[in-house]
Amino acid sequence: MLLIYCPYCEEERSELEFRNGGDAHIARPTNMAEISDEEFEAYFFLRDNPKGVIFERWRHVHGCGRFFNAARDTISDRFLTTYKAGEPKPDLNEKPKTGAEVETYEALEGAAQ
């Protein structure tokens, strides 16, 4: 059973609390109605299924309910990093951020006061 760091809760929690959401960084076309069959095929059907690092979505469904992204090695199942939805694909050669460095909702709330 995997141990997954939720970037919103800032805690490692058991896989039981999460649900996998498939590949990350696949943006839904804004002109959806106009795209060609080939573009739709690429967007909806085609996935790489890599042996190695995969960027994928997870939802902390039995926790905060948020979607976030993760880089996971499909060979070892080791998580290289997790990061919030909407953040760009991280450079995996960079030292991963620790919890304290991640910009949090709570930190932003505090700053506003």
Q: Rule CB under 8 A: which residues touch another protein?
A: 1-3, 14-15, 19, 21, 27-28, 32-33, 35, 37, 40, 44, 57, 59, 61, 65-67, 76-78, 85-86
Beta carbon of residue 25, minimum distance to another protein (angstroms, whole number): 10
Give whichever of 10 and 44 is closer to another protein, judged by the CB atom: 44
- What is the C-alpha to C-alpha distance for residues 88 and 9, in angstroms, rounded to an integer? 19
Give me the least distance between CB of 48 and another protein, in Å please: 19
Q: Which residues pair with 26 in a beta bridge?
A: none
Nearest distance, CB of residue 6 and another protein, angstroms:
14
SS3 (DSSP) at 108 = helix
Question: With 0-12 CB in 10 A as exposed, 13-18 as middle and 19+ as buried, what is 82?
Answer: buried
Q: Please give the torsion angle defined by the CA atoms of residues 28, 31, 37 and 43, in that order, rounded to the nearest 10 degrees.
A: -10
Decide whether 54 or 59 has the Cβ nearer to another protein.
59
Closest distance between another protein and the C-beta of residue 93, in Å? 21
Report d(CA 97, CA 83) in Å as an integer. Answer: 9
Nearer to another protein, 14 or 103 (CB): 14
